[in-house]
Amino acid sequence: MTERMIEIADGFWSIRGEMKVAGLVDFGTHCSLAALSDDRFVMLDSYTLPPDIHAEVDRLTKGGEKLAAIVNLHPFHTLHCEWMHEAYPHADLYGTARHHEKLPHLPWVEDTCEEGAINERFGEDFAFSVPQGVPLVCEGRHIHFSSILAYHKGSRTIHVDDTLSFLDAGFPLSLLPIAGRFDFHPSLARALEKRAGAADEFREWAIELGIAWSEARHLVTAHDAVLTLDPPEFADRIGAALGRVKPLLDRHRRQYG
């Protein structure tokens, strides 16, 4: 994935980054710049910006003066947080509990993202959602299903890291079963909490998300692609994705209740 900055809609930019595994396959990563109604900006997630993109972000934010906050939404996306803070030290730095734990030397806002601090401060411009029936941080360190989803109301854009996927990539990623399809991240089966009710909680959360954000026009994902939506297409795609994981949820109910 080539590093680039895409204007998705008025007031929302997706910064597409690189994340190579074993130095070979580029799975991609991202962060997003979103405008607030008070003429300032928020950066969703962190990435080490190449010089040309860094210059454009500086131009939009007046050298960072108008960047109100950096909001890190995925507990396992920690690699670029330090660079982003050093680049924009005056922006308030938000993160999950895992961000606080892994990078304790950074000046985090005390309340974590999952505790609702970002809802209170940015509720006028964003809606946030935490998946239910799955932990935000799974015990298995390679299970990265859950993240905090953000909906930018002004541009009607959903920013999501791993929870939802829409893979539109070249070979060899094009060989994956999920290529070209909107789905839940394939680690869902391992992420579901091993207890009664978890499958139902996840299903109800997904249905409510589809309804609440049915007017979304854009979906930007971390390791996948950017998807343009025709409302209420998001709700329909969530429903179809739930249909594909129904056997998985049914098995979970039979085993745990």
Q: Is the pLDDT of residue 212 over 70?
A: yes
Integer Cα distance of 121 and 234 in angstroms: 26
pLDDT band at 150 (very low <50, low <70, confident <90, very high): very high
- The pairing of strands 218-221 and 226-228 is antiparallel
More confident residue, 136 or 52: 52
- CA-CA-CA-CA dihedral for 83, 115, 206, 123, to nearest 10: -80
Integer Cα distance of 141 and 144 in angstroms: 7
More confident residue, 97 or 175: 97
Dihedral sign of CA atoms 132, 232, 34, 77 in order: positive
What pLDDT is stored for residue 27 in this prediction? Answer: 54
Q: Is the pLDDT of residue 155 over 70?
A: yes
pLDDT in tens, 85-98: 999 999 999 999 99
Asked which of 40-49, 176-185, 224-233 is least confident by mean pLDDT, the reply is 176-185
Contact 122, 113 (CB under 8 A): no
Start-end of H helices in the chain: 51-60, 81-87, 97-102, 117-122, 188-191, 198-212, 233-256
Q: What is the length of the chain?
A: 257
Q: Is the pLDDT of residue 180 over 70?
A: no
pLDDT in tens, 244-257: 999 999 999 999 98
Out of 15-19, 110-114, 165-169, give the one with best mean pLDDT. Answer: 110-114
* High-pLDDT (> 90) share of the chain, %: 66
Asked which of 54-58, 88-92, 141-145 is least confident by mean pLDDT, the reply is 141-145
**Tell me, what DSSP letter sits at residue 224?**
S
What global pTM score does this model have?
A: 0.90
What pLDDT is stored for residue 228 in this prediction? Answer: 93
Structural domains of the chain, ranges and CATH numbers in brackets: 4-256 (3.60.15.10)
Distance of CA 89 to the CA centre of its chain: 22
